[in-house]
Amino acid sequence: MAARRTTKKPNVSADELKAYYRDMLLIRRFEEKAGQLYGMGLIGGFCHLYIGQEAVVVGLEAAAEEGDKRITSYRDHGHMLACGMDPNGVMAELTGREGGYSKGKGGSMHMFSKEKHFYGGHGIVAAQVPLGAGLAFADKYQENGRVTFTYFGDGAANQGQVYETFNMAALWKLPCIFVIENNQYAMGTSQQRSTSSAEIWERGKAFGIPGEAVDGMDVLAVKAAGETAVAHCRSGKGPYILEIKTYRYRGHSMSDPAKYRTREEVQKMRDERDPIEAVRNMLLQGKHATEDDLKAIDKDIKKIVNESADFAKDSPEPPLEELWTDIYATEVPQEA
């Protein structure tokens, strides 16, 4: 069966296109700053950057509505920013400070926001996939019309719990969009060497789950595919799979030298397929923005990111007694 790929592009206004540019640029600049802080020793532990993959989450958030949920892996900073979480709180959490979203106790890999319906980055490979189905089950049970975006990578797609989840999601027709962020290298092994099927989304056919492959370097293509998936789930037809083909410019984590690919390959992607440059060119060629307009956006984004770094540095480390809080729920739900 030939791979089904989305080809339609949504009609978007100049203001929408500028918003996508701004959102992707915020993620790019934020991650660059996070890399700097990691190098200075201000971010400890693991740190997985999203540079190169910005169009994935920005495109899908453009297709989401208020109340929709999202859950992902440990490469999660971009998802947080795209759903509207405060850069100050995100950066403070990365640096383990009290002003962070998890009060400095979660770090890069474990952040949550109930307000923004962000249910965390998860350090165990593919562990978030059944949790995402659980979130979607709650929505179906409550009949609230919401959907859940469950993100995982090409490496995680080979975990058995993914297919157990596919089975239950299809059986119960859960409003869950399974988003495979295929950056082609998992932790450090190319898809060709680790995965038997060239099109991972087609594995859903065994469970009767439709899906498609998407160009993850094109934010408009991602938005269009996201709208298709959202409409499918909201109509009660069950889950949908999006395999979004993207590319990370950095190593798997900050400690990964990425020797499994050449510098020339990475540079070629940067030069020819960068998602932010693509939108920049659309804005300029369509006369929706001038060079000065885009420079002003970049200046504003850099200010936001620098302020987030300053906020993180100024925020105190959590006191020792804080380690014993937030272990148990403080509110016990009342029986109906």
149, 64 contact by CB (below 8 A): yes
Task: Output the pLDDT for position 8.
Answer: 61
Q: What is the DSSP string of 93-151?
A: HHTT-TTSTTTTSSGGG---BTTTTEEEEESSTTTHHHHHHHHHHHHHHHT----EEEE
Mean pLDDT of 108-129: 95
> How far is it, in rounded angstroms, from Cα 95 to Cα 315?
9
C-alpha to C-alpha distances, 164 to 70, 127, 131, 158, nearest whole angstrom: 20, 12, 12, 12
Mean pLDDT of 7-30: 91
Smallest Cα–Cα separation from 251: which of 183, 180, 179?
A: 183
User: Binning pLDDT at 50, 70 and 90, where does residue 10 land?
Assistant: confident
Structure token pair of residue 14: 């100049």
- H-assigned helices in the chain: 14-39, 54-63, 77-82, 87-94, 128-142, 160-171, 191-194, 219-234, 263-273, 275-285, 291-314
One-letter amino acid at 156 equals A
User: Considering the entire predicted model, what is its pTM?
Assistant: 0.94
- pLDDT tens column, 35-81: 999 999 999 989 999 999 999 999 999 999 999 999 999 999 999 99
> How far is it, in rounded angstroms, from Cα 96 to Cα 315?
9
User: Binning pLDDT at 50, 70 and 90, where does residue 2 land?
Assistant: very low
Structure token pair of residue 64: 């989401």
- pLDDT tens column, 133-148: 999 999 999 999 999 9
Structure token pair of residue 4: 């089904």
The alpha carbon of 203 is separated from its chain's Cα centroid by a whole number of angstroms, namely 22
